[in-house]
């Protein structure tokens, strides 16, 4: 019965999608790292960089869309390959608010420091939220803030190491 319900839901969901588009995006990234250990708090100043990727936008209704993305971000000594699942709610003509999970794999010198101490995870689970505006049918801008939910540090000391970031993006819908 559960499988039948799931199948019916999936068929309804995919047949009710009335528009989809695919495209490319890129822009400015500002990433920072925050470290906490036994009452001490420290942070690394924001590092500027860039991000780029591809996306699909699947409109469920006039006001709601799902936007899966594959992105690559480089800022200072951090590089992140991310898979994002963003939900968009259009509150006015062309203007939307966004939220969703982002799963990233961290690389660069930041990841090398994790390897050096053999006490960390390169997986980055984030929650992102922001807003966007469709300038034309094909061109849009968006701004997003993401904060890490998991801890990069997995050693025995009571410590936390997390990344946060702002992304300012311009995108183009091909279809």
Torsions phi, psi for 9 (to 5 deg)? -65, -45
Examine the pLDDT at 55 and tell me if it is beyond 80.
Answer: yes
Q: Which of 82-86, 108-112, 149-153 has the lowest mean pLDDT?
A: 108-112
pLDDT score for 19: 74
**Any idea what the Cα angle at residue 29 is, between residues 24 and 32, rounded to 5°?**
145
pLDDT score for 98: 98
Q: Which residue has the tokens 């996306």?
A: 55
pLDDT score for 150: 80
pLDDT band at 141 (very low <50, low <70, confident <90, very high): very high
Estimate the share of the chain in helix, then strand, then coil, as percent rounded to the nearest 5: 15, 65, 20
pLDDT band at 10 (very low <50, low <70, confident <90, very high): low
Torsions phi, psi for 110 (to 5 deg)? -60, -45
Residue range 127-153: mean pLDDT, rounded: 92
pLDDT band at 18 (very low <50, low <70, confident <90, very high): low
Question: What is the separation of C-alpha 139 from the centre of its chain, rounded to a whole number of angstroms?
Answer: 19
pLDDT score for 116: 46
Asked if 122 contacts 114 with a C-beta cutoff of 8 angstroms, the reply is yes
CB neighbour list of residue 116: distance below 8 Å, 6 or more residues apart: none
pLDDT band at 175 (very low <50, low <70, confident <90, very high): confident
Looking at domain 17-33+48-173, its CATH architecture is Beta Barrel (2.40)
Q: What Å distances lie between residue 89 and 20, 48, 60, 130, 147, CA to CA?
A: 15, 28, 10, 11, 20
Residue range 21-44: mean pLDDT, rounded: 81
Helices then strands, counting H and E runs in the chain, come out as 2, 8
Residue-averaged pLDDT of the chain: 83
In whole angstroms, what is the distance from residue 132 CA to residue 151 CA?
29
Question: What is the percentage of the chain residues whose pLDDT exceeds 90?
Answer: 51
């Amino acid at each position: 019965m559960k499988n039948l319900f799931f199948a019916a839901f999936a068929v309804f969901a995919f047949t009710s999608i009335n528009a989809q588009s695919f495209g490319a995006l890129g822009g400015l990234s500002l990433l920072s790292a925050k470290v906490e250990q036994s009452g001490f708090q420290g942070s690394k100043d924001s590092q500027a960089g860039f991000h780029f990727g591809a996306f699909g936008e699947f409109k469920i209704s006039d006001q709601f869309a799902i936007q899966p993305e594959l992105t690559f971000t480089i800022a200072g000594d951090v590089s992140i390959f991310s898979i994002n699942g963003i939900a968009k709610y259009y509150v006015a003509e062309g203007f939307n608010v966004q939220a969703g999970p982002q799963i990233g794999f961290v690389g660069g010198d930041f990841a090398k420091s994790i390897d050096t101490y053999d006490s960390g995870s390169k997986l980055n689970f984030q929650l992102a939220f922001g807003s966007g505006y469709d300038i034309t049918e094909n061109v849009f801008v968006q701004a997003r803030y993401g904060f890490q939910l998991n801890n990069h540090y997995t050693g025995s000391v009571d410590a936390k190491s997390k990344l946060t970031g702002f992304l300012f993006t311009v995108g183009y819908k091909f279809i």
